Chains A and B, each alone.
Chain A
Amino acid sequence: MESFLLQIVSGLAIGGVYASLALALVMIYQTTDLVNFSQGELAMASTYLAWVLIGNGVPYWLSFVITLAISFAVGFFLERVLMRRFQKAPLHSVLIVMIGLMVFINGSIGVVFGYELKDFESPFRWLGGTVRGYMSSHEAGIALVTLTVMTLVFCFFRFTRVGLAMRAAAVNPLSASFVGVDVSVMLSLGWALAAMIGAVSGVLSAPIVYLDPNMMLNIIIYAFAGALLGGITSALGAVVGGLLIGVAENLAGAYLVGTDMKLVFILAVIICILLIKPNGLFGRNVVVRV
């Protein structure tokens, strides 16, 4: 029983990482109907940036903020300069561009930093060893930061003008332009925010999976699963889905398939969702051709 609870709690913590990345995926899906395959690698690159900053003596939280700011700018820039060219291209071209981007980032970071695993410190040591014996201090920290970020994101979309304009541009771009929203800027902002939220997931997961150019490869498919489970059209769904996938992964690893088959388990989950309930738990109808 004790260990069962433990699995759930630590599942929720790592689920926070998946939830952030899933939220990033949903953000881009909402504005462009695309799943950004390079989201994980963008997050990985952001994590390297944070690592470099920290390694150069910049305090942890300052590095964190700078990383988020730069990720934001890079996301914005990528949409403007690269993805915009493919706005009218057929879907398969866009998918391939995103895969190319992913490969490019992975290789470039590999060239610059090498492929060996790097330690990434956790900023939550001061929380003590474990919180009430259930969570490591880092897991508690992940939960805290993810919660904060999610709350900020929700407030942004609910209470700010730009947030509202982004939602309008996502649901009805034509009408949005009729009220004076610059829809193309909103698209770029979507990428920018996604890159920033993805960066949170990268920086938080680095102390667990260690830092290396391939660190996000597994995490991105957990995030896919989370986003699909929650419903790819729903931000709330992404968060709930990400958390559920974290728990499911831990429980399946402990009791069902063993830790060495977790990815296969997630693959099965993804396929089941796609075939049985493609709109997920909270999603709107997206047409899946049968």
Chain B
Amino acid sequence: MSALLELQGVKAWYGAVQALRAIDLVVEEGGVTTLIGANGAGKTTTLRAIYNVLVRREGSISFNGRSILGMSANDIVRLGIGHVPDGRGTFSRLSVEQNLQLGGHVLRSRKAVQEGMRRIYGLFPILQERRLQQAGTLSGGEQQMLAIGRALMPRPKLILLDEPSFGLAPLIVTGIFDTLRQIRHQEGVSVLLVEQNVNLALALADQACLIESGRVVKNCSAETMRNDDTVKHVYLGI
């Protein structure tokens, strides 16, 4: 397997405040890497740094062997990186269908958009039922599906997922993670997953990164991470 996304020595700033100090991580082609760490460690910021939104950054970020450091968010989408932001970021005053249409904004033809929507409805049948409903009125789980569906619209090679389980009931979370597995195999998407529920995350991932105060402190396989004593103690509560 080869590296699809690779970050080396990435630093990032909000205005004058430095939030990332040294981030190195790799997402393999077809693999799942999870990013774990305490609140405020810089997980969301890492995703923002990859996407070049809200932060100023330095270091090296490459996708498919090509540096994407100078690219703007809308170019990055076109390269094939999808983003499911924290808080889901659906367009709450637009309908489910319009949200998905927007997900297909970078697709060239109307036909491709239609086809993409059919694909997403296949993955999440509930969204088809709620097609004309305003996104803001969906349940939390449905909104998360919508956010994932929206990111999958242009058939990305990689998606960045920021806390997909946030605020959801355990049953729904399990459902979402099942779908993620399905997506991974069906669509061949690689995933960079940020998740508070470390148990679930490590079960899904092959690789894991632990960050503390903007620094990657441990970078290993998910298996090794699961067996690490401090990780067990602090993040898994065992």
Closest 4 CB pairs of A and B: A180-B77, A175-B89, A180-B106, A177-B73
Known contacts A174-B53, A174-B85, A175-B85; A181 and B93 CB within 8 A of each other: no
Q: Which residue of A lies closest to B154 (CB)?
A: A180
Residues on A facing B (Cβ under 8 Å): 161, 164-165, 167-168, 171-172, 174-183
A164 contact set on B, CB distance < 8 A: 94, 98, 101-102
B8 contact set on A, CB distance < 8 A: none
In the assembled complex, how far is the CB of residue A58 from the closest CB belonging to chain B, in whole angstroms? 36
Q: Which residue of B lies closest to A182 (CB)?
A: B74
**Would you call B83 an interface residue if the criterion is a C-beta within 8 Å of the partner chain's C-beta atoms?**
yes
Q: Which residue of B lies closest to A185 (CB)?
A: B74
Known contacts A179-B77, A181-B74; A165 and B91 CB within 8 A of each other: no
Known contacts A164-B101, A164-B102; A178 and B94 CB within 8 A of each other: no
Q: Is the CB of A178 within 8 A of B105?
A: no
A181 contact set on B, CB distance < 8 A: 74, 102, 105
B85 contact set on A, CB distance < 8 A: 174-175, 178
With beta carbons under 8 angstroms apart, the residue of A161, A167, A171, A178 that contacts B51 is A178
Question: What is the CA–CA distance of A161 and B100 in the complex, to the nearest angstrom?
Answer: 12
With beta carbons under 8 angstroms apart, the residue of B72, B94, B151, B153 that contacts A168 is B94
Known contacts A180-B154, A181-B102; A172 and B89 CB within 8 A of each other: yes
Residues on B facing A (Cβ under 8 Å): 51, 53-54, 72-74, 77-78, 82-83, 85, 89-94, 98, 101-103, 105-106, 150-151, 153-154
Q: Which residue of A lies closest to B82 (CB)?
A: A178
Question: What is the CA–CA distance of A168 and B154 in the complex, to the nearest angstrom?
Answer: 17
14 contacts between A and B (CB under 8 A): A171-B92, A172-B89, A172-B91, A172-B92, A174-B89, A175-B89, A175-B90, A175-B91, A179-B102, A179-B105, A179-B106, A179-B151, A179-B153, A182-B74
In the assembled complex, how far is the CB of residue B48 from the closest CB belonging to chain A, in whole angstroms? 9
Q: Is the CB of B53 within 8 A of A168?
A: no
Question: What is the CA–CA distance of A177 and B154 in the complex, to the nearest angstrom?
Answer: 14
Q: Which residue of A lies closest to B79 (CB)?
A: A180
Q: Is the CB of B102 within 8 A of A165?
A: yes
Question: What is the CA–CA distance of A183 and B72 in the complex, to the nearest angstrom?
Answer: 11
Q: Is the CB of A165 within 8 A of B105?
A: yes
Q: Is the CB of A178 within 8 A of B77?
A: yes
Question: What is the CA–CA distance of A227 and B73 in the complex, to the nearest angstrom?
Answer: 34
B54 contact set on A, CB distance < 8 A: 174
B74 contact set on A, CB distance < 8 A: 177, 180-183
In the assembled complex, how far is the CB of residue A156 from the closest CB belonging to chain B, in whole angstroms? 14
Q: Is the CB of A171 within 8 A of B53?
A: no
B105 contact set on A, CB distance < 8 A: 161, 165, 179-181
Q: Which residue of A lies closest to B113 (CB)?
A: A161
B72 contact set on A, CB distance < 8 A: 177, 182
Question: What is the CA–CA distance of A174 and B53 in the complex, to the nearest angstrom?
Answer: 8
Known contacts A171-B91, A174-B89; A161 and B101 CB within 8 A of each other: yes
Q: Is the CB of A167 within 8 A of B94?
A: yes
In the assembled complex, how far is the CB of residue B95 from the closest CB belonging to chain A, in whole angstroms? 10
Q: Is the CB of B150 within 8 A of A179?
A: yes
Q: Is the CB of B106 within 8 A of A171?
A: no
Q: Which residue of A lies closest to B100 (CB)?
A: A179
Question: What is the CA–CA distance of A272 and B105 in the complex, to the nearest angstrom?
Answer: 42
B77 contact set on A, CB distance < 8 A: 178-180
In the assembled complex, how far is the CB of residue B91 from the closest CB belonging to chain A, in whole angstroms? 5
Q: Which residue of A lies closest to B88 (CB)?
A: A175
